[in-house]
Structure 1
Amino acid sequence: MTTNGFDGDVRESVHCAGDDLLSAALGLDGLRGKPPAFADAAAPTPQELRRRAIHASWNGIADLGPLGGYGRVYGAVPDVPGREYQAFARVPGARSPHRVLLQAPDAFDARARCLVVAASSGSRGVYGAIALAGAWALPRGCAVAYTDKGTGPGYFDLDGDTGVALDGTRVARGAAPLEFEPARAADARGVAIKHAHSGDNPEADWGRHVLQAARFGLAMLDRAYPAQAPFTPANTRVIVTGLSNGAGAALQAAGLDAEGLVDGVVALAPNVHVEGARPLYDVASEAAQLLPCALTDARYDATPFARIDGAVPPAWLARCAHLRERGLVDGADRVAQARSAIERLRAGGWDERAIETAASSTRFDLWRAIAATYAASYLRATPATMPCGFHYAAVDAHGRVVPADAAMRAAWWSDASGIPPGAGVQLLGGIDASSADPTASGIDCLRGLWSGDGAAARALRAAVAATAVKLPRAGLPLVVIHGEDDGLLPEAFHSRAYVAALEAAARAPVYWRVPHAQHFEAFLALPGFGDRYVPLLPYGHAALDALWSHLAEGMPMPHARRFATTPRGTGSLERAALGLGR
């Protein structure tokens, strides 16, 4: 352990001709194409891994499809040469590190010294905010500091005892500092996931991760531009931004920033837990349980992903009967049971727009994947002690559990989202194969960890309580943005609750509400889904523009507003649909 909370060395790399900061020289066309290939699939180089990780991060959080308007209506991917500085950092008391990275453009604007700090969205790796923070900051001469906030795709292969080194390559335990290294366990098998098995409750430290990334960024700016050193909060503007979990981390950082390190915050669709409001685990475990039945109602017949070839998924029909047997919905038939499920969701704060959009998350089984990972994290589980019988393992093309081969392991760091399934790793367990609704038993168990009275449920609720946000200092410039159709992090439970807490404390946040915007930007490229929605990223870029004008030019902060948006329809997105004006 070195001083300042950084583990081992800082890795410096140069990215210029053929390998820039923003897209690894892929450009917009390359980002829209297939993932870049590895020359040797079993042993990709650090440069190849970085390029593919950047490709995956862009495509994971931005709509780059031909109808989405990126590069034409909003956004751009110019070539930005520069250097990167990367390290493993550790907040006090943490067992596992988080990865921090500074991107320092060659065209850094020395007259308007700017550092943008961003945590990854979801559980993604360190480049997981590049389409928001990097795309806005780097072309204007700002540096960007990123953190994976203690999550990320640094999966550990328990069969081969290998993990991810600082350069993204795989090495054996003990050969180098690793992004994630679980404790040794006899007969350990399968795959250990950093978010689930770090031994920490990383979500409770997301704000500290962001502040540590900011300090790392300032220190690395001294290395990148020694003639302009020192870089301090007094002479360098520090803006914190993020999307989804990254936005929640930004708001946590604002609440912990006792030293005035942060000059302003832009948070898009934040996963923010306000004391007294419903947190993500409560909402996600409820959604996993009730939404399959609710979505069988005829009102969702035309909803994207609510039907398979025009028919209700059979397991969803079985869910209604299962819930009725457990006394969780009323009604003598499936129609009445579906309506009862909807009524329960509405009574808990869900609105109709969120329920409808959540059909996509339900169809893709995201609620179960999220709840299983978060439950393990909150309970500080090992790979062998995950709650409800869940575990992770590599699977082959037929779904059979196998030891991960070299090519699969090598691509985890670049390709995985941080929460399986994906990249050849599957969530297993919690299944009753004899049931018409095989996932119901595992989901009931996950829900019971929130609603139950046992020791595990009490420990989980205490861990969730530790993630509650503190309010930022009075006067901190702050913009919160949320899509009104968000079906993963419904506005009512997150942004609206946070803004209400600020207003109750006599603060004046800027709250931008975006009708016809949902959570998953990348889903907008899916047929029939993007027709109904507008992207959220343009509002993040616009808010960063407004915040910068306020900080650098003394312009007033923008007003709170609700935008006049129009669904894209079957054609290409046009500027007028966003309601942003010129």
Structure 2
Amino acid sequence: MGWKATVANPCGASLRTKVRCRRRTRLLRCGRSRHPEEAHVRHRQHHRLTAPRARFLAVAAALAIAAGAGCASTTADGATREAIVFEHPRSTIHRDGDDLLTAGLGIDGLRRMAPPDFADAEAPTPAELRRRALWSNWRGIADLGPAGGYGALYGSVADVPGREFSAYATVPGAIHPHRVLLQLPDAFDAARRCVVVTASSGSRGIYGAIAVAGAWGLPRGCAVAYTDKGAGSDYFDLDAGIGFGPDGRAVAGDAAGIAFAPEAPEGAGGVAFKHAHSKDNPEADWGRHVKQAAEFALHALDEALPAQAPFTFDNTRVIAVGISNGGGAVLRAAELEGDWLDAVVAGEPNVHVDAPGARALYDYTTEAALLMPCALLAMDGLPQPPLLDQVRPLYAARCDSLAADGVLPGADTATRAVRARDMLLAAGWTEGALRAGALSAGFDLWRSVAATYANAYGRHGVGEGPCGFSFAAQGTDFLPRRATAAERAAWWSDASGIPPGSGVGLIDAGLAPPDLALKGLQCLRGLWTGEGAGADRVRAGIAATRAAPPRAGLPVVVVHGLDDGLIPVAFSSAPWVAHARAAGRDVRFWQVRNVQHFDGFLALPDYGARYLPLLPYVYEALDRIDAHLDGAPLPADAVIDATPRGAAAMDASHLAMPR
């Protein structure tokens, strides 16, 4: 099914040669290369067509870059469009027990603790992989517990039949593509044509925003466009030379259509993944990933609904929404020129601006990784899990290590812990953020994020990562080993895009007692605070991610929990809003009390009792901004006093929606 583009000049025989050739081919599409002597080269594209996909080929061919042509054009609707080649497109039908929103699982299936089974664990079908990916991403993002009210009090898991269209797109200058996907409901409202465009939260795969954008847009008759923004779950098994194809199945590393095949030295082992090892610093291009997903949506709609074509930015409402990294991505899209985007809702966005109070994710992540374990010993009543008694010896060892290095004064653990807490408060953390951050500290999330982002910002490839970190399957002894075929087959559906998880672990070559992770964390922190080529390289990558104000006149609503312990509002949303307003932009800001970062963790009883979910406020903001596009006023700024539900089931009074 479908067509695929082939390049006239074959890419050699070996995997390493093919990857290098593919890398040059993508860079040369726009006359851009990391090798100046190659800048004049153009590869002629030859496309092979299989019926009935002629229309989709015609769309892609129209977008392909002709020899000598530029890489952008200005359209009648005022949007500057980059010429895009959509590679390896495919389409699937989802009806009769296999819908767009839950693949037929419904709320009961999504609530099951075990994932949907594969008939053959080593060779799952595309339908099985898709169903399991939806299950995994729903559970990773939404609070689906019966007491949490999802699907009854807010949100939707309605049966939405329709079709999916997917492909790869590559931003100019990037080595590797990102996945784009359009979900088109059968009930698409042709009289009120609407596209919701979104980006995955965290580093998740292509369905990573299903609970955010899909749950709001699909039941309303909107098409929903997704991008994995250059990250995702397209892992590559370096030991076996196996990656993943367009349908999520494991394929040989030299197969046509492989989603990610990294350059790697001979004999490299372990696991590579796109966020860390693409050498693209994908975060710098988040906004362009979102725009390309919107472009793909319009062209897929042209193919799917030819009687209603053409679909353009001028005649189709386009609303962008995302949370976490996806929230940062839609704010980056908001700054792009042209009237291609009609409105934006950003939830708990990871966004960095050059403004007072703003801090880069890498800065406060590495700070928290070092100081927070010790600081938490000075705080009572932390949410559980992790159980403080279990990690107290490790946290005390951190206090002792930092004291030995002269970072913390004090003759005992208690005094050092108070000093660590006070240092974090002085750096802009709040008590609420520290309390909620206990989860990230307890699950060692700070270290995993820092190691991955150091690799990405520095554009390090396989075997080049700073500070001795790598990734591999692990045994019970935590030593690296080869992945099994069954483990590998499930990565595309199960993985979150950043190990550890799904059988892949973070390998730290510097582990040593008594404070096992200290050496690696100090090295990672030094890439922000220190000197040298490695630190300069990482800081340059971070500088490339700085956001600008949104386009003038674009309606934007930002929603953030005041107890967010992963992306504190004081470092991200608040300075971005102030920066945008200083530039004369009319953005609206909802700050919600008793909301932390992870709705998915509200299934843990103590977190569910203490905190409210963010998603209801994202959906409400979407409702209000959609109404604004029809003539209603924008919602006012609000500090929302949401009330924790305790042991009771949540009801509308707990949410305290602004009116």
For 1:265 and 1:149, how far apart are their aligned partners in 2? Answer: 17
Q: Could you tell me how far apart the structure 2 residues matched to 1:26 and 1:6 are?
A: 34
1:88-107 to 2 correspondence within 5 Å?
Answer: 88-107=168-187
Checking the alignment, whether the CA contact within 8 Å between 1:430 and 1:439 is kept in structure 2 is no
Match of 2:656 among 561, 579, 582: 579
- Residues 359-381 of structure 1: per-residue CA shift (max 9 Å, x gap): 00000000000000000011111
Q: Alignment partner for residue 362 of structure 1, among 413, 434, 441?
A: 441
Q: Is the Cα–Cα contact under 8 Å of residues 301 and 307 in structure 1 kept in the other structure?
A: no
Q: CA deviation at 1:333?
A: 1.5
Deviation string 1:156-177 (CA, Å, 9 cap, x unpaired) is 0001111110010011122222
- Alignment of 1:556 onto 2:633: yes
2:196 and 2:365 map into 1 onto residues whose CA distance is: 31
Does the 8 Å CA contact 1:295/1:306 hold for their aligned counterparts? no
The amino acid that maps onto 1:414 is: S
Distance 1:123 1:302 in 2: 27
How far residue 269 of structure 1 moved from its aligned partner, in angstroms, is 0.1
State yes or no: 1:201 paired with 2:281.
yes
In 1, Cα distance between equivalents of 2:503 and 2:276: 17
Residues 1:290 and 2:290 aligned together = no
- Retained in 2: the 8 A contact 1:314–1:436? no
CA offset at residue 9 of structure 1?
2.6
In the superposition, the TM-score normalised over structure 2's length comes to 0.86
The 2-side partners of 1:142 and 1:414 are apart by 25
Counterpart in 2 of 1:532?
610
| Aligned-partner Cα distance in 1 for 2:474–2:250 | 19
Three-state SS of the structure 2 residue aligned to 1:6 is: coil
| Cα pair 1:124 1:148 within 8 Å, conserved | yes
| Alignment correspondent of 2:415 | 336
Give the aligned partner of residue 66 of structure 1: 146
TM-fit CA distance, 1:475: 1.4
Q: Tell me the CA shift for residue 436 of structure 1.
A: 1.8
| 1:567 aligns to 2:647 (yes or no) | no
Q: Tell me what 2:575 maps to.
A: 497
Which structure ranks higher in relative contact order (CA pairs < 8 Å, sequence separation ≥ 6)? 1
For 2:418, the aligned partner's letter is R
Deviates more, 1:399-408 or 1:30-39: 399-408
Q: Check conservation: 2:181, 2:225, Cα contact below 8 A.
A: yes
Counterparts of 1:140 and 1:9 in 2: how far apart (Å)? 29
1:275 aligns with 2:354: yes
- CA positional deviation for 1:397: 4.3
Cross-structure match for 2:429: 350
SS in 1 for 2:147: coil
Alignment-mate amino acid for residue 580 of structure 2: L
Give the 5 Å matches for 1:183-222.
Answer: 183-222=263-302
Give the corresponding residue for 1:389.
468
Deviation at 1:430, TM superposition (A): 4.2
Shift of 1:303: 3.6
Could you report, residue by residue, the CA deviation over 1:9-31 in whole angstroms, capped at 9, with x for unpaired residues?
31011111121100111111111
Q: 1:224 Cα deviation (Å)? A: 1.4
- Give the aligned residue type for 1:576: S
Alpha carbons of structure 1 residues 581 and 99: separation in structure 2 relative to 1, 3 Å: same
- How far did 1:301 drift? 4.5
Is 2:343 the counterpart of 1:264? yes
Alignment of 1:38-53 (within 5 A): 38-53=118-133
Secondary structure of the residue that 1:138 maps to in structure 2? helix
Q: CA deviation at 1:74?
A: 0.9
With over 3 angstroms needed to count, the CA separation of the structure-2 counterparts of 1:397 and 1:438, relative to structure 1, is closer
Q: Quote the residue 1:475 is aligned against.
A: 553
Distance 1:511 1:134 in 2: 23
Q: Which residue of 2 aligns with 1:466?
A: 544
Secondary structure in structure 1 of the residue aligned to 2:570: helix
What is the CA–CA distance in structure 2 between the aligned matches of 1:146 and 1:333, rounded to whole Å?
51
The equivalent residue for 2:117 is 37
Deviations 1:382-405 (A, max 9, x none): 221111100001123453422111
Q: Residue 371 of structure 1 corresponds to which residue in structure 2?
A: 450
Q: What TM-score do the two structures reach when normalised by structure 1?
A: 0.97
User: 1:430-453 CA distances to partner (integer Å, 9 max, x unpaired)?
Assistant: 4433x1210111111100110001
- Secondary structure at 1:111's aligned position in 2? helix
Matches within 5 A, 1:308-457: 308=388, 310=389, 313-433=392-512, 435-457=513-535
Contact 1:117 1:240 (8 Å CA) reproduced: yes
CA distance in 2, matches of 1:331, 1:246: 42
| Corresponding letter in the other structure for 1:379 | G
Please tell me the residue identity of whatever aligns with 1:112. R
Return 5+ residue gaps in structure 2 as ranges. Answer: 6-44, 46-63, 65-82
Name the CA distance, whole Å, in 1 between partners of 2:617 and 2:197: 18
Q: Given that residues 270 and 495 in structure 1 are in contact (C-alpha distance below 8 angstroms), is that contact kept between their aligned partners in structure 2?
A: yes
Q: CA RMSD in A?
A: 1.3
Q: Would you say 1:248 and 2:328 are equivalent positions?
A: yes
| 1:339 positional shift | 1.1
Which segments of 5 or more consecutive residues in structure 1 lack a partner in the other structure?
none
Offset of residue 498 of structure 1: 0.4
Larger radius of gyration: 2
Q: Deviations over 1:11-67 (max 9, x none)?
A: 011111121100111111111112100000000000100000011110010000122
Q: Is the counterpart of residue 510 in structure 1 residue 591 in structure 2?
A: no
The aligned counterpart of 2:69 is none
What percentage of aligned pairs have identical amino acids? 56
Which of the numbers 115, 132, 135 marks the counterpart of 1:55? 135
CA distance in 1, matches of 2:446, 2:280: 22
Tell me, yes or no, if the aligned pair for 1:120 and 1:245 is still in contact at 8 Å.
yes
CA gap of 1:547–1:389, structure 2 versus 1, over 3 A, is same
Q: Secondary structure at the match of 1:60?
A: helix
Work out whether residues 8 and 87 of structure 1, in 8 Å CA contact, stay in contact via their aligned partners in 2.
yes
- Supply the distance in 2 between the matched residues of 1:174 and 1:130 (Cα, whole angstroms): 31
- Equivalent position amino acid for 1:223 in 2: E
